[in-house]
Amino acid sequence: MVGYIGRKSLVSINHILNLFAFTYKISLLILKKPVVGRAVVRRAVIEQIYFTGVQALPIVIPIALIIGSLFIIQFSKVSSQYDLGKITIILIVRELGPIVTALLVILRSATAVTIEISYMNVLNETESIEMAGIDPMRIICLPRLVGITSAMLCLFIIFDLVAIVGGYCLIWMITYVNMGNLLVQIGKAITTSDIIVGLVKALCFGITITVVSLYYGFDIKKNITYIPMNTAKASIECFLYCLVINIFISAVFYL
């Protein structure tokens, strides 16, 4: 039993170290500025932002509206007991905003990236890129890292704005619930650190989601039956790591 736990722990530690090494390898590509290939990489970044960011808007906006209005309805019931502005900031900007956005990005993009890269590996497409003298890390990994992380940051900002302002407007338009001066309270309660924490979380989640999904995509070993397994593992791990990072960042900033 002890041996089993020990072996499992070593495997997990090794896996996490591999993820860090992979992150380091991709990060180095951002610092390097090769003369060639910029146009191709730029195009891939834009495509990734479009897929992860723009195409996700029809899903993110309704979900943000629903979550925002639900919270505002519940808050209106306890408006006399608590500082609603502060509670809204804590729940939506600091915690729920980044996590819900991350969850949506995982469901849409992380799974898609793992499957796409897995297929590219199984069908020897990465090998063909290498045979063209092009670094696959540069035209596959770098655009996805930059694209998904940028899209994640934008989606987080949109989610927060829609959840708070959109939720307020929706409730104001379709119900008679008395919300008092909620928007003013939120305006007073929000601090720079709240915005920075939210952005830091979104940034870390973006990097984590991209690295984990790419890692499992490349870890396919030319076997098509691994694709569904690796996709499931990648999405679960992405979400787990996002939750852990969320707790860690909240602890660092607020404890």
Candidates 119, 172, 226, 253; binder of other proteins (CB under 8 A) is 119
Is 166:61 a contact under the CB 8 Å cutoff?
yes
Left (φ > 0), alpha (ψ -120 to 50) or beta: where does 210 sit?
alpha
Distance CA 248, CA 63 (A): 26
Looking at the Cβ atoms of 63 and 134, the one nearer to other proteins is 134
Residue 95 near other proteins by CB under 8 A: no
Nearest CA to 56 among 147, 118, 165?
A: 147
Residue 37 near other proteins by CB under 8 A: yes
Candidates 107, 112, 134, 165; binder of other proteins (CB under 8 A) is 134
Looking at the Cβ atoms of 122 and 177, the one nearer to other proteins is 122
Left (φ > 0), alpha (ψ -120 to 50) or beta: where does 133 sit?
left
Residue count at the site for other proteins (CB under 8 A)?
23
Nearest CA to 67 among 155, 177, 160?
A: 160
Looking at the Cβ atoms of 138 and 201, the one nearer to other proteins is 138
Residue 38 near other proteins by CB under 8 A: yes
Residue 40 near other proteins by CB under 8 A: yes
Distance CA 2, CA 59 (A): 46
Residue 111 near other proteins by CB under 8 A: no
Contacts with other proteins, residue ranges (CB under 8 A): 35-40, 43, 116, 119-120, 123-125, 127-135, 139
